[in-house]
Amino acid sequence: MSSQTSHNEVNNFLRLATESIAKGFTAAAQVAHEMHSYRESSIAAKRVFTLNPTSEKMLQLFPNFAPLVQAIYSIIEQIMIQISKTDADPNLWMTLGHGYLVIGDFPNAFSAYARAIRLNPNNNDIFFLYAYGIVYNHYNYKDHAQSCFTQVLAEKEKFIYYPDLVFRFAILLRSKGEYDKALEFFDISLHNPPNGLSDADIQFQRAYTLSLKRDNNSAFQIYQTLYQHYPNSIEAVEQYVWFLYLNKNNTMPNDEIQKIINEHRDHPNLTILSARIAMKENDTEKAYQSYRSCIPYWSENSYFWCALGCLYYRNGQEKDAEIAFSRSIYLDPNFEEAWLNLGLVLDSRPQMALEIYKQGKDRCVNSRELEKRIQSYSLPSHPTPTIIEVNDANFFEQVPLKFASQYVNAVPILPASLFGKATEGLNFEEFSTFPKSLFA
């Protein structure tokens, strides 16, 4: 196969992949719009514009985006023409990166910024460093992002997006395990939260940071206060009750946690917690009822089926347990506990159980427990293994962490002045995708 043929095939694959992704976001935008979920619809539409700036369907849904989209892509096209004539101007590449970034095209923004810094390694433009830091962080280059942000922080008096930068920097420091420094910046952010967030959003992040540094008492005080002040914030409720349940030093009885859960019976992440509490208390009937209520929401989750299999096994329903563990493996063939539990259910059929353990070892190559079970079949007296429960933490995604990820990966705001007169009067905030406050 010639290199040209291979290149064409790759380009064709990328084109088809881009079209497929655009179709998916187009459908999501249309469905959300029909359901009057306009914010979610606009976020999906913005993703479509990143892939297809001339999408007629999205321009019909959101005609207010048309001037901004047209202006940005016009600038991008003009810069590309200039670059085709002379590609050694770092300012052209920098502006091109800004153009891509404000529409959420992180891959092209990264490429443009990388070219700009190669041409001018000493570029100290604060908006370039801020934007490049955002892109670095998006791709998990944390040290590079920290270096960029640190340089901008030194110019805080000149920087109009200082509140946003402080919040980003706190999240970045936390992701690197620098919890005390992160708390210092979250404290600064408390006095001036960015982009529509409230001081409660910042406290939420502080509580999670405190829990990471094992200051659970301080974290508890914040979570409890937020729950008391915002009882209708399902995110605050969810984080609070799961924190109570997972915190080994918590003294609140499970029935008190259950009372809070009962106020939000239809929330899937709280219903699954009811099942986990019932399992801990050996109330298998209540656990079964809770698990059954979870099926519409958790049926594609391997942890759910493994946990349900454990319940069936406790009840002596070995055939049902076998089906549940098999379903878990189907959804995640690398889930070690599911292989171990399926082998246990088949222990009365040694050859079949041994075959299951071997198949599991092929997928989970570093599993010592699977290797131990395989070796046990060569012993004169084969020990009977025990069921392995699913770690409770697998059922819960920390809400502050999820929110922080959404924030740092959102399309940021850059000033229109970076693009000259062509963008005067345009509001780039319309194209940002920052998550809304959890406590509004």
Distances (CA, A) of 316 to 215, 246, 280: 41, 28, 17
Q: How far is CA 411 from the centre of its chain?
A: 15
**What are the pLDDT digits (tens) for 229-288?**
999 999 999 999 999 999 866 677 788 888 899 888 788 899 999 999 999 899 999 999
Which one-letter DSSP state was computed for residue 24? H
- pLDDT confidence of residue 24: 87
| pLDDT value at residue 8 | 66
Is the separation of the CB atoms in 439 and 233 below 8 Å?
yes
d(Cα 376, Cα 384) in Å, to the nearest integer?
9
Question: What pLDDT was estimated at residue 14?
Answer: 58
Instruction: Give the separation between CA 324 and CA 312, rounded to whole angstroms.
Output: 8
So what's the pLDDT on residue 279? 92
Give this prediction's pTM: 0.88
Look at residue 122 in the predicted model and tell me its pLDDT: 94
Residue 199's pLDDT is what? 97
- Look at residue 4 in the predicted model and tell me its pLDDT: 56
* Torsion region of 28: left, alpha or beta (phi above 0 gives left; psi -120 to 50 gives alpha): alpha
Dihedral of CA atoms 30, 32, 35, 38 in degrees, nearest 10, equals -110
Q: What is the pLDDT of residue 177?
A: 98
Q: Are 353 and 346 in contact (CB under 8 A)?
A: yes
Q: Which residues of the chain have pLDDT under 70?
A: 1-11, 13-15, 248-250, 422
